[in-house]
Amino acid sequence: MKEGWDPDIYLRYEGYRARPALDLIEQIPLDIEGGIVDLGCGPGNVTKRLKDTWPDRAVTGIDTSEAMLAKARESYPDITWEQGDMSTWNAETPKALVFSNAALHWITNQEEVVPRLMDAIKPGGWLAFQIPVTEESGYQICLSATVHSERWAEKLANVWMYKNPMDPGAFYDLLTPASTSVDIWVTDYHHVLEGKNPVVDWIMGTGLTPYLAVLDEAEKTEFMADYRGQVLEAYPKQGNGKTLFLMKRIFVLAQKA
Ligand SMILES: C[S@@+](CC[C@H](N)C(=O)[O-])C[C@H]1O[C@@H](n2cnc3c(N)ncnc32)[C@H](O)[C@@H]1O
């Protein structure tokens, strides 16, 4: 399971993590009445941006993690926060916007869920989501190598890992039957990170959580030493000592017919 989220670790890179969400929000021409849902809302800082953009609408953040929701409730009491699983979620009343930033890769059944999300949207409303494309990224290649190494393969064999997004054509075909338009784009973000091994600090708040959750303290130390060494080699420092961290992200924006 994916519990083990720590909102404070996750929020260390809040600015960089929010940037794709803001880039997506800017593209949404929301001109029909209705509420907004943020699926996999995490600590709520992106949900707050939705509320700031459309202050007169009811905005609800949904997440499985009680730790994330507790942080969200404490930080933004004027937004509604609900525990729920987006892989089975349905709206009680159709929404003007169903939004999700950096969360849909945590479910295994994207091909079932993505078309179903369209059922939760009013005609003329929008589905907007962003998913990181992790497959070819250096940190993911290092993670795979560490997890599948002789030392860890057996212990970590059954740990659930997030799913790469489907390719643009697959999203397009899933969404066109219920949409008047489907807009898809992919952007490379080169985040400038500071510190000795900052890519590992980034992943501590996300992709490493399922692995660390099943290791005891001694194993965690050993696992992290293996992983840190690999990542350090994969991300050489720039001339000024900083690290350029490439994150490729796919964006999908569809208007409900
Ligand atoms: C990388 S965080 C993204 C948080 C937020 N959307 C943002 O942009 O900062 C992924 C979030 O998805 C949540 N999550 C994972 N699986 C989920 C599921 N099946 N249903 C709802 N939320 C889920 C996690 O608890 C976590 O808070």
Q: What is the CATH number for 154?
A: 3.40.50.150
In a domain, 34, yes or no: yes
| Distance in angstroms (rounded) separating the CA atoms of residues 102 and 45 | 13
Predicted TM-score (pTM) of the model is: 0.92
pLDDT at 229 over 50: yes
B/e letters for 159-168, b = 16+ CB within 10 Å, e = fewer, are: eebbbbbbee
**107 Cβ closer than 6 Å to some ligand 1 atom:** yes
Kindly state whether residue 149 falls inside one of the protein's structural domains: yes
End-to-end CA distance of the chain: 35
| CB-ligand 1 contact for 50 (6 Å cutoff) | no
Does the beta carbon of 102 sit less than 6 angstroms from any atom of ligand 1?
yes
Give how many domains the chain has, as a whole number.
1
Residue 3 has pLDDT above 70, yes or no: no
How far is 119 from 90, CA to CA, in rounded Å?
A: 8
- Domain membership flag for residue 2: no
In testing the pocket of ligand 1, which one of 106, 160, 206 has its CB within 8 Å of the most ligand atoms?
106
Is residue 165, in this structure, part of any structural domain at all? yes
Task: Classify residue 214: in a domain, yes or no.
Answer: yes
With the C-alpha atoms ordered 179, 185, 186, 187, is the resulting torsion angle positive or negative?
A: negative
Q: Which domain holds residue 132?
A: 7-256
In a domain, 1, yes or no: no
DSSP tally for the chain: helices H, then strands E: 10, 7
Name the E strands within the chain.
Answer: 36-39, 59-63, 80-83, 95-101, 121-133, 179-193, 243-256
Task: Give per-residue pLDDT as tens, 43-68.
Answer: 999 999 999 999 999 999 999 999 99
Residue-level pLDDT at 2: 47
**Residue 241 maps to a domain:** yes
For the segment 171-200, the average pLDDT, to the nearest whole number, is 96
The protein residue with its alpha carbon nearest to ligand 1, atom 1, reads: 102
Average pLDDT over residues 203-226: 91
Token pair listed for 103? 């969360």
- Is residue 185 in a domain? yes
